[in-house]
A and B are shown apart, each in its own frame.
Chain A
Amino acid sequence: NAGVMQNPRHLVRRRGQEARLRCSPMKGHSHVYWYRQLPEEGLKFMVYLQKENIIDESGMPKERFSAEFPKEGPSILRIQQVVRGDSAAYFCASSEDSNYGYTFGSGTRLTVV
């Protein structure tokens, strides 16, 4: 069991480009959560997905950010037209069920230059 896999570990994008962050949950986990950790700040919830469905996106910025968790393949967090303020560590967690423990990925560190 490889755990929660996030890639890339580090991503550098120029302002205005698109960033795609991938998260492969643990085997058997159908719940995926994305969190953002801004520099010098704590973790903040962004979005909660189950297979093919967005359950709660109350933490997602209204523009430029989107997330999906298709039937096949990893969950994708997509940031369009990145700005410097998007520079942060983005963590993904997965669980078998919301009542069970969560496993975190190692994160993707996005730097916008």
Chain B
Amino acid sequence: KNEVEQSPQNLTAQEGEFITINCSYSVGISALHWLQQHPGGGIVSLFMLSSGKKKHGRLIATINIQEKHSSLHITASHPRDSAVYICAVTVHTGNQFYFGTGTSLTVIP
């Protein structure tokens, strides 16, 4: 079983839709990260959070430490949001990341 599970694995949305990607983890963490990877491209760190909620533009990330769950929301989705979104956690006992397998998002005009 992976330490980090994401859902859905694939997601197709119409432009303008509200999108939610979920992440659950099974280990004690020091922080949770949401990353974005475009096809053939590098990785961009979107959020690092250890409690509560963060917002950046149309992106919102929340985390519930008790439930070991995080969500990434995209409001008013746009085709340029099409990418793979990866949830990752850094654990208390070390400094490495554990990664989810990613959610592939396609936003159709």
Q: A residues bordering B, Cβ < 8 Å?
A: 31, 33, 35, 41-45, 48, 55-56, 58-59, 91, 93, 98-99, 101-107
Contacts and interface: CB of A to CB of B under 8 A. Distances in A.
Mostly helix, strand, loop or mixed at chain A's interface?
Answer: strand
Mostly helix, strand, loop or mixed at chain B's interface?
Answer: strand
A43 B96 contact: no
15 contacts: A31-B95, A33-B95, A35-B99, A42-B100, A42-B101, A42-B102, A43-B88, A45-B99, A56-B96, A91-B42, A91-B43, A93-B43, A99-B31, A105-B42, A107-B43
Interface of B: 30-31, 33, 35, 41-45, 48, 86, 88, 90, 94-102
A33 B99 CA distance: 14
Contacts of B88: 43
Contacts of A93: 43
A22 B73 CA distance: 35
Contacts of B33: 102
Contacts of A58: 96
